[in-house]
Each structure stands twice: as C-alpha cells, then as structure tokens.
Amino acid sequence: MKRNFINQEELSDKFWNIEYTGKVQKVSFGKTGTKGRETEKEFADEKDCIKESEKLIAQKIKKGYTEIQENDEIPQKAELSDNEKADIYFWEAIEKSNKFKKAHWSEYDIDEHIENLTDHLSKFGKERMILFEKTLQEKLSELYTAEIAELSIILECDFKKEDGVYVFDDYLSDDGFIYFRCWLILKGKEFFEDIKADIQSFVGGKYSFNIGDCWAEGLLYVADDAYAQNHDDEEAIIKDTVYELYPENDYDGMERSMEREPKGGADLHKMYPKLVEEIAALRTN
C-alpha cells in the first residue's frame, strides 16, 4: 500500500509518502518540489509493519498533513504576506517557550515562561525581534476592548454579593490593564482567538489557569532583553526601533477609545452570569 501526504500549513511546504508491503516499509519526505530523502525499514512480520505504518500515518495527520492521491498534482503553495509570517513567528515563539502546556495550572510559572521566551528570541537576529515586538503591540491593541476590560474586572477587582447578585468595583489602572492583556497573550494563539471572540470561553472547560496571578508585565521587555543578551552596549533598541517604524501602534489606549465604556457594578453578573458565578466562587474559596 502506498499513501502520499503534504503539509502546507503556515510556513510548511513539505511532502511525506509511505509505502508498505509485506514486512518492508519505505518512507520518502522533504520539501515539496525536491526529491527529498528516503528510508527503508524491515519489520519482524507483516502485522507489525502495518501497525507501525498506520501509527506513523496517524501522527502525520495530527501534525497537519493531508492526503493526496497518487496522480494528483501538488498545489502551489500561496505566498504568505510579511504580516502573516510575523504572526506565525510570534505565536510560534510564545508557544515553543511555554514548557507548562501539558502541566497542571498550578505548575505554570510566568517568570520562567518569559525567561524561556527571551532565550528563544535571542537566537534570532534583530529583524525577527522587531517583528516580535511589532506583533506584540498589535495583539495588545486587539485586546483593547470593553469585553476584555470586563474580564479583567471580573478576575481582579473587588466585589460583593447583594441579594444574590455579584456587584463589582470597576476601577482598572492603565498599566494594570496592559499587564493583564500580556497575561492573556502568553496563553497562546488558540486561547487568544477564543477569548477575543467571547470572554465566556474562559470558563468553557477548555482552559484552566491560576487566576490569582493575572499580570505578565515582563512580556513587554522580552524583545529588548533578548537583544541585550548579545549586545551588551545597547539597551531598549528594539522597542525604540518599533516606535520609530510604526508610530501608529497604540497598545496602551492613550490615544484611542474603546467601542463602548466597560460595564461594572451589577451589570457584569447580568451580562455574563456563568462567567461571573464561576470566577466569584473560585475567588471566594
């Protein structure tokens, strides 16, 4: 049996083919348009060969490979824009540096994640660090919404219960709201997209975090710190460069306004009953 696969997700443009007959398994793989490399393996019997081949196929599908027929022409991969590439690099850095993705929420360490992220970014050149900082500012701007502000209020502000209704103070400091958005971004792309679409996905059962520590200020300095690891004589050059190149970026909200004023008081319980009740229960325990 012979099966052919390609992966053209994000930056990938690869093929992976497998052929197994009797006890022999042959695999070819590489960049699309090249001959690639070939490997051959012989198993003890045909049953083991089939089992291991099917296991490999399942792994490739899980990693984003899709099957094509033997005589199908491999499609030309669409060229990604600079912004699309920057987005991929950004989330790749955030997620590769998170060593706690499969750990219990109580084991997650913000400082260690940021330290790993800084080390990861320091391996690249200045241009990649500038792209990271630019994309970070853009992601922070995307989260500058009334709904995200309301999530911050629910998670962080004082509250009390009156006649069965939770009533929240609604004060948010400008700096604190930036640090909160940094914390959300560190959770990765999938969470970022979910929470941007609906803050109630926070309690949908898909995610679990330590809500007692919702600030990640250190993310703001990662690009400069990464650059400083290999350039002892210069400081804050990445953030300054991004400011010069993209002065329109405004992630702190000083020159912009939200689409509406964030709600507070008893309104949040009415707007987000499940979210408020679950978070309030956790915060009072």
Do 122 and 247 sit in the same domain of this protein? Answer: yes
Selection from 166, 137, 140, 172 nearest residue 153 by Cα: 172
Cα separation, 168 vs 157, whole angstroms:
7
In a domain, 73, yes or no: no
Do 27 and 160 sit in the same domain of this protein? Answer: no
Number of domains in the chain: 2
Do 155 and 280 sit in the same domain of this protein? Answer: yes
Selection from 98, 137, 101, 159 nearest residue 221 by Cα: 137
Say whether pLDDT at 196 is over 60: yes
Q: Identify the weakest region by mean pLDDT among 49-53, 113-117, 228-232.
A: 228-232
- pLDDT for the residue 79: 78
Q: Are 210 and 106 in contact (CB under 8 A)?
A: yes
- pLDDT for the residue 25: 96
pLDDT interval class at 53 (50, 70, 90): very high
Do 192 and 233 sit in the same domain of this protein? Answer: yes
- pLDDT for the residue 135: 96
Do 156 and 23 sit in the same domain of this protein? Answer: no
Q: Which domain does 104 fall in, by range?
A: 82-284
The pLDDT tens digits of the residues spanning 128-162 come to 999 999 999 999 999 999 999 999 999 999 999 99
> Can you give the CATH number for the domain in which 56 is found?
2.20.140.10
Do 59 and 89 sit in the same domain of this protein? Answer: no
In a domain, 58, yes or no: yes
Say whether pLDDT at 46 is over 80: yes
pLDDT interval class at 123 (50, 70, 90): very high
- pLDDT for the residue 175: 93
What's the average model confidence in pLDDT over 222-250?
Answer: 85
- pLDDT for the residue 236: 66
Selection from 60, 61, 139 nearest residue 93 by Cα: 139
Q: Are 169 and 152 in contact (CB under 8 A)?
A: no
What's the average model confidence in pLDDT over 185-208?
Answer: 93
Do 118 and 63 sit in the same domain of this protein? Answer: no
Do 212 and 245 sit in the same domain of this protein? Answer: yes
Do 22 and 145 sit in the same domain of this protein? Answer: no
In a domain, 105, yes or no: yes
In a domain, 276, yes or no: yes
In a domain, 195, yes or no: yes
Most confident of the ranges 77-91, 114-128, 224-238, 240-254: 114-128
What's the average model confidence in pLDDT over 82-103?
Answer: 90
Q: Are 149 and 261 in contact (CB under 8 A)?
A: no
Residues 6+ apart with CB under 8 A from 180: 148, 152, 155, 156, 214, 215
- pLDDT for the residue 52: 96
pLDDT interval class at 74 (50, 70, 90): confident
Which neighbouring-strand residues pair with 160?
Answer: 167
CA distances (Å), origin 45, targets 6, 22, 54, 183, 233: 28, 7, 15, 52, 63
What's the average model confidence in pLDDT over 112-138?
Answer: 95
Q: Tell me how far the alpha carbon of residue 74 is from its chain's centroid.
A: 29
In a domain, 77, yes or no: no
Do 19 and 86 sit in the same domain of this protein? Answer: no
Selection from 59, 249, 218, 273 nearest residue 135 by Cα: 249
In a domain, 75, yes or no: no
Q: Please give the residue that has the higher pLDDT: either 276 or 7.
A: 276
Do 218 and 94 sit in the same domain of this protein? Answer: yes
Q: Identify the weakest region by mean pLDDT among 25-39, 69-83, 158-172.
A: 69-83
Task: Report the percent of the chain where pLDDT is more than 90.
Answer: 69
Say whether pLDDT at 255 is over 60: no
Do 94 and 156 sit in the same domain of this protein? Answer: yes
In a domain, 93, yes or no: yes
